[in-house]
C-alpha cells in the first residue's frame, strides 16, 4: 500500500462521479482506506463530511488543485442515481480519458475536438462500447452509505 494517513486522495472522475478527501484510517491487512470526503460532484455532495471506505487500489493521490465541476458544499438531500443515455455515457468516458491524459489544460475547442475523436473511436468497437456502458451503469448506480 503506497497511500499514507492524512494524504489527499480522490476516487472517480468529475465527468461522472468524483469524491475527494483525506485518508483518516488505513488497514494494510485488508488494503482499504477510510476517506473523509470534503469535495464531490454536486450529485454526490450528500457524502461531504462522511467517512467512506475504499479499496486502496481504487484511490489516487491528489496532485495539485481539485478538478473543475466539484464542490465543497454539502447537500443534505441524497440524489437518485445520475441518469445518462448510452451516448452520454460514452461521451463522459471519452472526456475522462482525455482529462486523464491531458488534464484540464487544453483550450476548450481543442479539448472538445479530442473528446469527439475518442467518442468516434469508442463507437467503432461494439464490444468496447458495451463494456464501457456496463461499467458506467455500475458506477452510476454505486451505493454509498
Chain segment 31-87, per-residue pLDDT in tens: 999 999 999 999 899 999 999 999 998 899 998 899 998 999 998 888 777 889 999
Q: How far apart are the first and last CA of the chain?
A: 24
Residues of the chain above pLDDT 90, percent: 66
pLDDT confidence of residue 10: 93
pTM for this one?
0.79
Chain segment 24-35, per-residue pLDDT in tens: 999 999 999 999
Q: Is 145 a residue whose pLDDT tops 60?
A: no
Amino acid at each position: 500500500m503506497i497511500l499514507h494517513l492524512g494524504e489527499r486522495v480522490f476516487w472517480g472522475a468529475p465527468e461522472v462521479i468524483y469524491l475527494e478527501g483525506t485518508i483518516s484510517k488505513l488497514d494494510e491487512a485488508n488494503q482499504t482506506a477510510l476517506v473523509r470526503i470534503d469535495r464531490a460532484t454536486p450529485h454526490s455532495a450528500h457524502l461531504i463530511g462522511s467517512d467512506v471506505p475504499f479499496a486502496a487500489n481504487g484511490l489516487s493521490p491528489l496532485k495539485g488543485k481539485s478538478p473543475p465541476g466539484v464542490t465543497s458544499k454539502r447537500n443534505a438531500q441524497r440524489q437518485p442515481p445520475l441518469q445518462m443515455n448510452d451516448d452520454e455515457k460514452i461521451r463522459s468516458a471519452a472526456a475522462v480519458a482525455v482529462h486523464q491524459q491531458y488534464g484540464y489544460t487544453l483550450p476548450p475547442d481543442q479539448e472538445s475536438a479530442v473528446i469527439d475523436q475518442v467518442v468516434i473511436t469508442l463507437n467503432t468497437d461494439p464490444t468496447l462500447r458495451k463494456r464501457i456502458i456496463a461499467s458506467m451503469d455500475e458506477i452510476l448506480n454505486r451505493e454509498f452509505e
